[in-house]
Structure 1
Amino acid sequence: MILPLHQITPVLQTMGSSANGGAEAYFMSLAGAFDRAGIKQSAAIRAHAVRETELGALNIPTRVLPFSKPLDFTTSRDIAKMATEHNARVIIAWMNRAASLTPASTGQHRGWKRIGRLGGYYKLKNYRGFDALVGNTQDIVDWIIREGWPKGRVHYIPNFARRDPGGIIVRETLDTPPDVPLLLGMGRLHTSKAHDVTLRALQQLPDAYLWIAGDGPDEAILKSQAQDLGVADRVRFLGWRDDAPSLYRTADLVLFPSRFEPLGNVVIQSWAHGVPVIAAKSAGPGALIRDGEDGFLIEIDDAEALAAKTKMLLADKELSAKFVANGAQRVETEFSESAIVAQWRVLFDTLGGL
């Protein structure tokens, strides 16, 4: 969808992925936050029916471009044209593909500054010449600086968590008894997310059911493992879901034993939606969770510890309530939408303002 090009939108966001993942979901979350804050924006994205519809519902001028590097001779040109027509002052590029195709301002166009938004340890060559990089964890920021970027051009702005509307899911609609402990695993079906560890832990939790929300290349492997472990009758593979808030609200506990996780947005979302969380000590969750205060941390690949901590939380309602209350406080003070949008405004001002 393309809205009238005369509309002035000082912020242009570029998203070159057509996948469903955490960065793509947060791209939409930030677009919504900017819209609620009155920040005028436009978007250049790769084809994705759901994102096109959601951006259209927000009345955000949107253009679908190929983003098909390396033999893509039109995307950079069209981004520059769009930036000029909309009087963009900053372009925020999400991940490597978009960054590599987001052009620098030239003498032919009104000037704009380029911001690279990094949610992982991306290939920094794609961001050469950018005016600023934003890492959503302090560890990513520190890594970028160690790689040679000037400290003054690297900024820490974490993800926000917003308690989105959504009701409780009737468990029976997903073939789950109403009165059993319900565990939730969120994330791509990939070895980095360690759903296999959760399945092994479930073997030691005979009364619990597990919902796994996500898609990915390991689906067949994980389903086979569930059969081999004898837990397949208590596991529901839900695929990619657009109702994450309802999933969080319905679950009794979130299990997040990722082996590699730069941020751990699932942790922040669990806090925002009032469900206790147990995570492995990968970089992001290890930095976020205060062990024993707002969640539990376990060693990576430790299914026994995951099962033990799960049993403890399911049995101790007072401890579970403490985790929920402390997590909600963390969101309010550190990860609220208003606080994060304010940090983006400061960055825009640093680059010359909108």
Structure 2
Amino acid sequence: MKLLFALPGFHSYDRGAEVALLSVADALARDGESVTVMGSGEDRPDTAYRFRHVPSIRRETFESFPHFPPFRSETAWEDASFAPGLLGAYRPGDYDAAITCSFPFTHWALRRPAARKPLQIFVTQNGDWPAYASNSEYRSFGCDGLVCTNPDYLERNRAKWNCALIPNGVDLERFYPGAAERARFGFPEDRPIILMVSAFIATKRVLEGIRAVAQLDDAFLVVAGDGPLRDEGQALADVLLPGRFKRISLKATEMPALYRSVDAFLHLSLLESFGNVFIEAWASGLPVIGHDSDRLRWILGAGAEYLCDTENQAALVAMVQKGLARGAARSGRPEGIERFSWPTIAGQYRDFIARLLAERASVR
């Protein structure tokens, strides 16, 4: 199959959506599929797919821009700056399927009129509202296949779209229990360390995490992430966690060692589409403290013992204490994590797209 993956952040960011789709693209390419990736970053060594640079303006530039439909966030502004270059680089007839999770501008560019159009595959990495909302720009949404990253999305959309339930994955050759490297990151050796891997945006609730950890006398909080609320978060930590807070930005290659260098993982988003960070932390042997939901219990399975109502600060603080009491007892790879290996996930993508191509051919 000839496949195109397109997203503004490819090779510029290593956040959840970028990591997930690039991992699928790479695994499919290594398995023999013809895969092209278009993004705004630069080519990277050791990737099995072909990369083509398409320029865009970085999302940080747009943080102070007004938000209105369809420019609902700084990432939508970034998406709009990416679409003109994508239109110039994209030749629909070259591909059997085009895959993205970016709406609306990348989505519109990939669906432009053409004599031979590839299958349009939309992945619900950032939510499924384009697939079911009927207001404003969402009325223009359309796809040949919808990859639902959790059962809630599948149930909500299966009657309208051709859907497949496919979770995200984790690189089990990189994320595994192992020895801590605290000196490498400048972390204290004599304190329990809690890690948040979150963007500084309201929905990730990093400020709530700072307030909760402040209730623990000796815990040290590390936040790996950036975003518009970075200054507000730092100011709050300066008051509530003096000498017990560190904000860092790391390359993707350093993330496995970061997970192995802490004692517990905390993520406070109330409802993630999937959340790669949950299974990265779980694969690394950490207790995963998050908001109790059916969706997160489905993801974590046996690893869901540290979930609670995170909007209840007393319950949250108690659960963080419980996680730290267990400590970094990394006795081996967690049971059940194998179902999230990227080759397994990529195989599910391949089977779904192949089925859709076969159905299209039979109709013709």
SS in 1 for 2:210: helix
Aligned to 2:53: 64
* Alpha-carbon distance, 1:59 to partner: 5.1
Once residues 295 and 265 of structure 1 are traced to their aligned partners in structure 2, the CA distance between those partners, rounded to angstroms, is: 18
Moved more, 127-136 or 17-26: 17-26
Change (3 A) 1:349 1:209: same
The one of 20, 25, 33 equivalent to 2:19 is 25
The one of 244, 268, 280 equivalent to 1:234 is 244
Matches within 5 A, 1:248-287: 248-281=259-292, 284-287=295-298
Matches within 5 A, 1:259-338: 259-281=270-292, 284-290=295-301, 294-316=304-326, 321=329, 328-332=334-338, 334-338=339-343
Aligned to 1:155: 164
Once residues 156 and 92 of structure 1 are traced to their aligned partners in structure 2, the CA distance between those partners, rounded to angstroms, is: 15
Q: Is the 8 A contact 1:223 1:232 kept in 2?
A: no
* Alpha-carbon distance, 1:313 to partner: 2.8
Tell me the alpha carbon deviations over residues 13-39 of structure 1, each in whole angstroms, 9 at most, x when there is no partner.
111346553112222222222233232
The one of 345, 349, 356 equivalent to 1:344 is 349
Q: Is the 8 A contact 1:261 1:283 kept in 2?
A: no
Tell me the alpha carbon deviations over residues 228-261 of structure 1, each in whole angstroms, 9 at most, x when there is no partner.
22x1311110135422111111111101122342
Tell me the alpha carbon deviations over residues 267-306 of structure 1, each in whole angstroms, 9 at most, x when there is no partner.
1111222222111125642542447x54311113233222
The one of 139, 143, 152 equivalent to 1:139 is 152
Q: Is the 8 A contact 1:289 1:296 kept in 2?
A: no
User: How well do the aligned residues superpose, as a CA RMSD in angstroms?
Assistant: 2.9
Q: What is the identity, as a one-letter code, of the residue corresponding to 1:165?
A: R
Aligned to 1:204: 215
Change (3 A) 1:307 1:74: closer
Q: What is the identity, as a one-letter code, of the residue corresponding to 2:107?
A: A
Change (3 A) 1:266 1:92: same
Q: Is the 8 A contact 1:192 1:259 kept in 2?
A: yes
Q: Is the 8 A contact 2:146 2:163 kept in 1?
A: yes
SS in 1 for 2:344: helix
Aligned to 2:130: 123
Once residues 11 and 105 of structure 1 are traced to their aligned partners in structure 2, the CA distance between those partners, rounded to angstroms, is: 18
SS in 2 for 1:301: coil
1:13 aligns with 2:5: yes
Moved more, 18-27 or 94-103: 18-27
Moved more, 160-169 or 247-256: 160-169
Once residues 126 and 117 of structure 1 are traced to their aligned partners in structure 2, the CA distance between those partners, rounded to angstroms, is: 17
Moved more, 334-343 or 66-75: 66-75
Aligned to 1:6: none
Once residues 266 and 236 of structure 1 are traced to their aligned partners in structure 2, the CA distance between those partners, rounded to angstroms, is: 19
Once residues 295 and 193 of structure 1 are traced to their aligned partners in structure 2, the CA distance between those partners, rounded to angstroms, is: 21
- TM-score under structure 2 normalisation? 0.78
Which portions of structure 1, spanning 4 or more consecutive aligned residues, are displaced by more than 6 angstroms? none
Unaligned regions of 5+ residues in structure 1, if any?
1-8
Change (3 A) 1:224 1:176: same
* Alpha-carbon distance, 1:336 to partner: 2.1
Change (3 A) 1:73 1:23: closer
Q: Is the 8 A contact 1:135 1:157 kept in 2?
A: yes
Once residues 141 and 151 of structure 2 are traced to their aligned partners in structure 1, the CA distance between those partners, rounded to angstroms, is: 21
Once residues 3 and 49 of structure 2 are traced to their aligned partners in structure 1, the CA distance between those partners, rounded to angstroms, is: 11
Q: What is the identity, as a one-letter code, of the residue corresponding to 2:165?
A: Y
Tell me the alpha carbon deviations over residues 76-103 of structure 1, each in whole angstroms, 9 at most, x when there is no partner.
3531x2x43xx42111123213212103
Aligned to 1:101: 109
Unaligned regions of 5+ residues in structure 2, if any?
57-78, 132-137
Once residues 103 and 187 of structure 1 are traced to their aligned partners in structure 2, the CA distance between those partners, rounded to angstroms, is: 32
Q: Is the 8 A contact 1:105 1:112 kept in 2?
A: no
SS in 2 for 1:44: strand
Q: What is the identity, as a one-letter code, of the residue corresponding to 1:62?
A: F
Q: What is the identity, as a one-letter code, of the residue corresponding to 1:139?
A: D
Once residues 193 and 310 of structure 1 are traced to their aligned partners in structure 2, the CA distance between those partners, rounded to angstroms, is: 17
Moved more, 212-221 or 267-276: 267-276
Change (3 A) 1:336 1:19: closer
Change (3 A) 1:126 1:14: farther
Residue identity (%): 24
Change (3 A) 1:316 1:300: closer
